[in-house]
Amino acid sequence: MMETLLIIEDEKLLGSELSRHYRQSGWDVILATSLAEAKEILLKKSIEPLLIISDMNLPDGNALDFMEHIKKNTGRKIASKEDGSRANYGMIAEWLFLTGFGSVPDSVRALRLGAYDFLEKPCDLAHLDLIVASAARSAVTQRRVIDQTKNGYRRYTPDAYAGHSRQAQEIRQLLTRLTQVPFSALVIGGESGTGKGLTARILHYGGHRAQQPMIEVNCAALPRELLESELFGHEAGAFTGASTRHRGLLEQADGGTLFMDEIGEMPLDLQSKLLKAIEDHKVRRLGGEKEINVDVQIVAASNRDLEQMVNEGRFRADLYHRLSVFRVNLPPLRDAVEDLDELVPLFIAEYNAKAGRQVKVISDEVWNKLKKHYWPGNVRELRNVIERCVLLSEGPLFPVQWLQLPGQEIKFFNTGGEPCVKTGVSEPGIFLPLDGSMALDDMDKFIIKTALERADNNLTAAARALGATRETLRYRVRKYNLIIVD
């Protein structure tokens, strides 16, 4: 692909020589002999060069003033595009300045404004070629990063939270409002698989920090010592095995967002240290002597009831109140079954594209089974079910035999090796997905809740059905904040 090079030079001989040389090198060269002409090219004609080579002093002004003006105006132009992006990226081009009267203040200002290099005339053409090649690589890299950011923003708009139920519409409206305010912290609640990770990305890529990094950490996946090191970083020699300095996740997320999933699993002593870092906007690496300033937006998520954990002394009240500036509670799929009408075709189209399948027809039998299912694993479980069915499909018809949900016929083999058929409805059991879509605590809660419902909320009868003592069941009922009749 031929990239555009803009040369701003009032010396006709030098301008013509540079134009001819770089056209021969494969550039699409545009020559401007004044800043007014260059302004028309960049602003009115909307040409976006990859590289700009400019004389410092031109008849109608100073090129550094012109560079500052262009960056501000092209930034507003990009921000006004109707692509969902509100970030001010500026014009993605590297600037090289050539001058016969170089000075230290000019060179310092040029670099402060973001110029790639500042060269004095006469400049050896071979040397200039090296700098041009390096500047072009830098500009290409910047454009790729910006494109990825914009694509991430377009992918994670509030509309990415699919569904036409009342709950889904309310969530989208809330997310739209939250992306318009610079909040410092937020808590996302909801069962496993309801879309907490998606919600966090919508808040980041739709907000004012979209250009900055989004760092994610699962607090339940790391042991206490490793979690502390990952969050706050460490200096070389801070502990056995710390051979090099490590920047913590809070540092890495500086200016952006730190998404802390399953924050309810964080040990109490680390909660205290995290609260201090959030309040002071400073972190100290393990083994370090100085504090490092950080500006981080915290998005915390948990499938537990953090308020209940605070009441039980298992989560710090001060950290909870600091994090819960805003709360977003995601509904379980069983409470918004009508969203299946939108989610199922969406997931089918996704896995059709990934696996090269052509599933298009969904029978009434499939819809009935999907809408009668309890969905303990929520949207994550639904996605896994759709993926399995699409991958094992053999035509345009959605294969009902691979749903494997309660109520559909499932083939088993008896002791003689002959197949027999059982139905999930006739079995006095409980169906749980073993595909990673449901956490162990959620399974425990679901089993206890189901047993209580079948026993008309009678604790003694439910304990007998589960083969547990009343005391054990009572403890778990309190843990999961369930209602009982004793």
Fold of 440-479: Arc Repressor Mutant, subunit A (1.10.10)
* Dist. CA 29–CA 425, nearest whole Å: 73
| The pLDDT of residue 406 | 63
**In contact, 117 and 73? CB cutoff 8 Å:** no
* Structural tokens at position 449: 């809740």
DSSP-assigned letters across all residues of 371-403: HHS--TTHHHHHHHHHHHHHHT--SSB--GGG-
* Structural tokens at position 204: 């980041």
**In contact, 55 and 11? CB cutoff 8 Å:** yes
* Dist. CA 84–CA 89, nearest whole Å: 13
Q: Let me know if domain 161-329 sits in CATH 1.10.287.110.
A: no
Q: In 10 A of CB 387, how many CB atoms?
A: 17
Q: 333-423 architecture in CATH?
A: Orthogonal Bundle (1.10)
Selection from 202, 207, 294 nearest residue 247 by Cα: 294
Which residues neighbour 294 within 8 Å (Cβ) at sequence distance 6 or greater?
A: 250, 251, 253, 254, 277, 281, 282, 283
Please give the model's pTM, rounded to 2 decimal places. Answer: 0.65
* Structural tokens at position 266: 């964080």
Q: In 10 A of CB 362, how many CB atoms?
A: 16
**In contact, 382 and 375? CB cutoff 8 Å:** yes
Every domain of the chain with CATH number 1.10.8.60 lies at: 333-423
Every domain of the chain with CATH number 3.40.50.300 lies at: 161-329
| The pLDDT of residue 440 | 77
The hierarchical CATH code for the domain 4-154 is 3.40.50.2300
Q: What is the pLDDT along the chain (486 residues), one digit of tens a residue?
A: 678 999 999 999 999 999 999 999 999 999 999 999 999 998 888 888 999 999 988 989 889 999 988 887 765 444 333 344 444 445 688 999 988 776 778 778 887 888 898 888 888 899 999 999 999 999 998 888 777 666 656 678 899 999 999 999 999 999 999 999 999 999 999 999 999 999 999 999 888 898 889 999 999 999 988 999 999 999 998 888 888 889 999 999 999 999 999 999 999 999 999 999 999 999 999 999 899 999 999 999 999 999 999 999 999 999 999 999 999 999 999 999 999 999 999 999 999 999 999 999 999 999 999 999 989 999 999 999 999 999 999 999 999 999 988 644 444 334 333 444 444 444 456 767 766 667 777 888 888 888 888 888 888 888 888 888 888 888 888 888 776 655
Selection from 99, 96, 87 nearest residue 114 by Cα: 96
* Dist. CA 121–CA 107, nearest whole Å: 14
| The pLDDT of residue 409 | 47
Q: In 10 A of CB 351, how many CB atoms?
A: 19
Backbone angles phi, psi at 368, to 5 degrees: -60, -45
Which residues neighbour 40 within 8 Å (Cβ) at sequence distance 6 or greater?
A: none
| The pLDDT of residue 225 | 85
> Is the alpha carbon torsion for 70, 72, 75, 77 positive or negative?
negative
* Dist. CA 350–CA 383, nearest whole Å: 10
Selection from 392, 325, 401 nearest residue 363 by Cα: 401
Q: 44: burial class by Cβ within 10 Å (0-12, 13-18, 19+)?
A: exposed
* Dist. CA 76–CA 356, nearest whole Å: 42
Selection from 355, 359, 353 nearest residue 399 by Cα: 359
* Dist. CA 220–CA 232, nearest whole Å: 17
Strand partners, 215: 258
| The pLDDT of residue 87 | 40
